[in-house]
């Protein structure tokens, strides 16, 4: 999942994937500014077919937070799907 997130970050920020650290955050990437945050969130919605609330967008400020959130979403989806 982190690799997919980094690919999205590459497309949004035009930073080579190998230059995006595993601890990337708004504090460590200069291109991850307020506009970059919005663009990243929209790109993640498309890539992972999720809907992010404005509250979620305000808290997803690091690669770790994004990966954790998407893993939780995937688990919730799989749990709901298994109940059908």
Torsion on CA atoms 60, 62, 67, 70, rounded to nearest 10: 10
What would the pLDDT profile of 47-76 be if each residue is shown by its tens digit? 999 999 999 999 999 999 999 999 998 887
Can you give the residue range of the structural domain that contains 63? 2-82
More confident residue, 50 or 83: 50
This prediction has a pTM of: 0.89
More confident residue, 6 or 83: 6
* pLDDT score, position 74: 83
Q: Do the Cβ atoms of 52 and 25 come closer than 8 Å? A: no
Number of domains making up the chain: 1
Sign of the CA dihedral with 72 first, then 56, 25, and 27 last: negative
Q: Measuring CA to CA, which residue among 83, 19, 84, 77 is closest to residue 48?
A: 77
* pLDDT score, position 76: 74
- Please report, for the domain that includes residue 29, its CATH number: 1.10.1200.10
Question: Three-class SS of residue 55?
Answer: helix
């Amino acid at each position: 999942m982190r690799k997919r997130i980094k690919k999205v970050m590459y497309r949004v920020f035009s930073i080579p994937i190998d230059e995006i650290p595993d601890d990337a955050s708004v504090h460590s990437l200069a291109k991850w500014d307020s506009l970059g945050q919005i663009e990243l969130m929209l790109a993640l919605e498309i890539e992972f077919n999720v809907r992010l609330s404005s509250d979620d967008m305000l808290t997803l400020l690091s690669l770790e937070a994004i990966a954790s959130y998407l893993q939780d979403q995937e688990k919730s989806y799989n749990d709901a799907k298994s109940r059908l």
